[in-house]
Amino acid sequence: MRNDQKVFVAGHTGLLGSAVAGRLIHDGWGNVVTRAHKELDLTRQADVEEFFKRERPEYVFLCAGLTGGIGVNKGFPAGFLHTNLAIQDNVFEASVKHGVHSLVFYASSCVYPKGCAQPMKESDILTGSMEETSEAYAIAKLAGLKACRAYNKQYGGNCFIALLPNSMYGPHDNFDTESSHVLAALIRKIHDAKIRRSSAVRLWGSGNPLREFVFSEDVASASVFALENAWRLDNDCYNVGSGQEASIKELAAKVAYAVGYKGEIEWDMHKPDGAARKLLDCARFNALGWRPSVSLEEGIKRTYDWFLSVHGRKEDGCLQVQPQP
């Protein structure tokens, strides 16, 4: 690998893609190619084919995809299934046809069985039924994992690298309260409660489920590490996590502290919790020499600082919401 080789980061404006692009640039990669959705719709096969034919990237990070929290997963399962399958299939095929050396694909911890033994090992995949609330999205990601393995078997080598990060968060996340993942949703709801000077904020579920959160920049670091060590990898997926586990109640308290919110936190027991626990066993990937570096507390602070820089400003000691640009 050389720093002047062309790298395509698909989904560079999102949570993971922005972190990966930033990491590559920080590490001296000077030929990073990106395209906004309006410039390249990855669900359109002909457009993807033309892009790869013209640009000839040598490495690809497939960070693009349709993601969301429990609510939108339940409401739009067909959209999550179709969009993610289409993107994966188009990019995988174009990569093979146009000589990409290596591609990094990202799955999700929701591919693991509901009620899976903890911590979850890669060998546990397909040993039971998935959590119903995210089943369609999980099936698309599972198809991507199996596709990486199939392409490697058919074409040789470990050109398709499959990483399975746990719940990601960080700058450039989606902070919409209806469609975001849990940590970003908590930041937005608790921030808004502070702005309104509400005495209490009501959050989804019981607050009891346990989650492992990994900062987006740590996943970006793991991604570049995996690409640089592709020759050491098995033809299999690898868990990537922080090793830090917290209940949603504990997470809400940490977010409230970072935001500076002093009100009460209430729980809406009529809303779904999702899986009771999601902790990854990352021993196989960590054994290669990679480790996360950002604690949950530091990551929340950095994420909220970014949120304020984009969505808010301080005025007379009170934070005011600004419209997104």
pLDDT tens digits along 8-49: 999 999 999 999 999 999 999 989 999 999 999 999 999 999
Residue 140 lies in a domain: yes
**Phi, psi for residue 154 in degrees, rounded to 5:** -75, -40
- For the chain, percent of residues with pLDDT exceeding 70: 96
Backbone phi and psi for residue 89, each to the nearest 5 degrees, phi listed first: -65, -45
> For 240-295, where are the alpha helices, taking DSSP H only?
248-259, 283-286
39 within domain boundaries? yes
Whether 251 is covered by a domain: the verdict is no
Find the length of the chain.
325
- Which is it for strands 160-165 and 237-240: parallel, antiparallel or unpaired? parallel
DSSP state of 134: G
The predicted structure's pLDDT at residue 157: 83
Three-class DSSP category at 226: helix
Q: In sequence order, what are the beta bridge partners of 214?
A: 168
Range of the domain at 143: 7-172+213-244+278-294
Q: Looking at residues 80-94, what average pLDDT do you find?
A: 98
- For residue 131, being part of any structural domain is answered with yes
Q: Is 257 a catalytic site residue?
A: no
- Mean per-residue pLDDT of the chain: 92
Q: Which residues contact 38 (CB under 8 A, 6 or more apart)?
A: none
| Cα 215 versus chain centre, distance | 9
299 part of a folded domain: no
Higher pLDDT, 273 or 206: 206
pLDDT for res 272: 77
Pick the residue with more confidence: 245 or 311? 245
- Asked if residue 192 belongs to a domain, the reply is no
pLDDT score recorded for residue 320: 33
- For the residues 142-169, what does the mean pLDDT come to? 95
Q: Tell me which amino acid residue 28 is.
A: G
The domain total for the chain is 1
Lowest mean pLDDT, pick from 174-178, 180-184, 212-216, 219-223: 174-178
- The closest of 286, 226, 234, 241 to 103, measured between CA atoms, is 226
Q: Is residue 164 part of a domain?
A: yes
Place 3 in a pLDDT band, splitting at 50, 70 and 90. confident
Angle between helices 15-26 and 216-228 (to 10 degrees): 60
Query: CATH number, domain at 154?
Result: 3.40.50.720
pLDDT at 322: 34
pLDDT score recorded for residue 267? 96
| Number of neighbouring beta carbons within 10 Å of residue 34 | 16
Q: What is the pLDDT of residues 267-288, one digit of tens each?
A: 999 887 877 888 999 999 999 9
Which of 112, 137, 169, 304 is labelled catalytic?
Answer: 137
Mean per-residue pLDDT, 159-182: 92
> Is 255 inside a domain boundary?
no
